[in-house]
Structure 1
Amino acid sequence: MSAAELLEAIAAWPLASAMRRSAILYLVVNATHILAIALLVGAIVPLDLRLLGFFSNTSLDVLGPFLSRAAAIGLVLAVATGFCLFSVRPSAYADNPAFLTKLALLAVGAVNAILLQSSNAWRVAEAGGRVAGPVRLSAGISLLVWPGALLAGRWIGFL
């Protein structure tokens, strides 16, 4: 299947057709996407700041697991609703540089999070131990990547 055929198949998806026909459905999916992004960024920014040494009076062994899970839930919801929004006009989005930038930043952010979560240094920090340099580096990358993806997402409508 070619890329063009795949995009056509996505556009023909029943939910995509329903969203094109119903302003209410599109509105609900779009609002859910925004709420999911708010959950993701709203959880990840305070966690990253804590990992970088801010709010050091807040226990990372309590804060870390909660904010990590909240960010993961936000990411899953944002990707699911984002796919639904993409399906309405997949060919237009596939050629949009801002959309492609957003996807690249999402991939970098997700890989960064997976690598961090699977590291021993994260487990030590999450248990209340020392926050090692690689954990701080990952937090710094995260603080650049997730807001960057948010900005790229806003940029989509202006191109």
Structure 2
Amino acid sequence: MTDAAPAIFAALEASGFGAAIRQSRWLYMIANVGHIVSLMVFAGAIAVMDLRMAGALSATSPGYVLKAARRVAIAGFSGLVVSGAFLFTAEASHVIVNRVFQIKLGLIALGLLNVALFEILIAPKVKDLPPLTLLPSGARAAAVASISIWIAVAICGRSIAYF
């Protein structure tokens, strides 16, 4: 445990659940693999949505693409949250003081804010558009911001161990 971490994170790491994850032959490894698989699912769905909003795949209805890929993205993000909670609990006092992890959390918040703004401002405008229709302004910017943010989150996540 790290003395620099707030007591709540040291307590979480020292909990029976945290100890079980660290001491298990399989739990941490399964959570790690689950996190990577969930990242692949999430990133794939986000890439499809962002590519469509950036103007690619224009022969498809944007509403159809968003509806289908959104479900996959939510499933992938849910897997990331669950597996990430396992990984975090096992090493909470170390990870919480890691600057790269803190940046990752900030980027996740920014990514979720981008999703919320997209869902409020842009998604209603594109849900009923037919294929090959020009997308409303802001769709491309939201897509570029989205893919950039989520790539940065993934880079931070894979970099935590090195800082």
What TM-score, normalized by structure 1, do the two folds share? 0.90
5+ residue gaps, structure 1, are none
| Aligned pair partner of 2:151 in 136, 147, 154 | 147
* Equivalent residue number for residue 88 of structure 1: 90
* Equivalent residue number for residue 6 of structure 1: 8
5+ residue gaps, structure 2, are none
CA distance in 1, matches of 2:18, 2:129: 46
* Equivalent residue number for residue 124 of structure 1: 125
Q: Which amino acid aligns with 1:87?
A: T
1:145: how far off? Answer: 0.2
More helix by share: 1
What TM-score, normalized by structure 2, do the two folds share? 0.88
1:12: how far off? Answer: 3.0
* Count, aligned residues: 156
Q: Per chain length, whose mean CA-contact separation is higher, i.e. which structure has more relative contact order (CA < 8 Å, sep 6+)? A: 2
Q: Deviations over 1:53-87 (max 9, x none)?
A: 01111222221111112112211220221121011
| Aligned pair partner of 1:99 in 98, 101, 106 | 101
CA distance in 2, matches of 1:95, 1:145: 22
CA distance in 2, matches of 1:54, 1:149: 23
Q: Quick one: percent identity of the two aligned structures?
A: 29
